[in-house]
Amino acid sequence: MKKQFLFLAGCAVILASCGSNNTNAGQTQAQIDSSVNAKMAQHDADNAAKNDSTLKAIEKEKAEAISKEHEAKHEEKKAEKASKSTGTSATQTPDPTPAPAANPKDSRFNNPNNTPNGTKKVDQAATDAKASRFNR
């Protein structure tokens, strides 16, 4: 009984979905196409304006950065000329960077049990004893 009810309900849904959904209210295909084209043209124009303003802002930032860099170089040259005339140094030497901390894993490579090419020395007696245990 349940299967028949579900089958009938499914058929009713399928038949109901076959109805017409024509909502163009008397418009021709040419009218629909022209309205879609107008919307697309407006969307493209908006995107172009947005991109243009973004590009102009980027160019303005680049120009400002270049002018600041130029001004900094100009000020540096002025300071060098002033220091040469007074005999003092306008630029300061930076503090030396501290030496890096010792690597705790460095002993693996500088271990006296290692050979010069970095491989570990092999105790042949221990290797033979291990091999004899597995040969039984």
SS3 of the chain: the string is CHHHHHHHHHHHHHHHHCCCCCCCCCCCHHHHHHHHHHHHHHHHHHHHHHHHHHHHHHHHHHHHHHHHHHHHHHHHHHHHHHHHHHCCCCCCCCCCCCCCCCCCCHHHCCCCCECCCCCECCCHHHHHHHHHHHCC
pLDDT of residue 103 exceeding 70: no
Cα distance between residue 44 and residue 34, in whole Å:
15
Residue 2 binned pLDDT confidence (cut-offs 50, 70, 90)? confident
Tokens at 87, concatenated:
């005999």
pTM (predicted TM-score): 0.32
Give the model's pLDDT for residue 21. 63
Query: Mean pLDDT across the chain, nearest whole number?
Result: 79
Q: Please tell me the least confidently modeled range out of 13-17, 46-50, 77-81, 101-105.
A: 101-105
Tell me the pLDDT tens digit for each residue of 33-68: 999 999 999 999 999 988 888 999 999 999 999 999
Residues 6+ apart with CB under 8 A from 1: none
pLDDT of residue 28 exceeding 60: yes
pLDDT of residue 115 exceeding 70: no
Q: Quick one: how far is CA 73 from the chain centroid?
A: 33
Tell me the pLDDT tens digit for each residue of 4-15: 888 889 888 888
Tokens at 60, concatenated:
């303005």
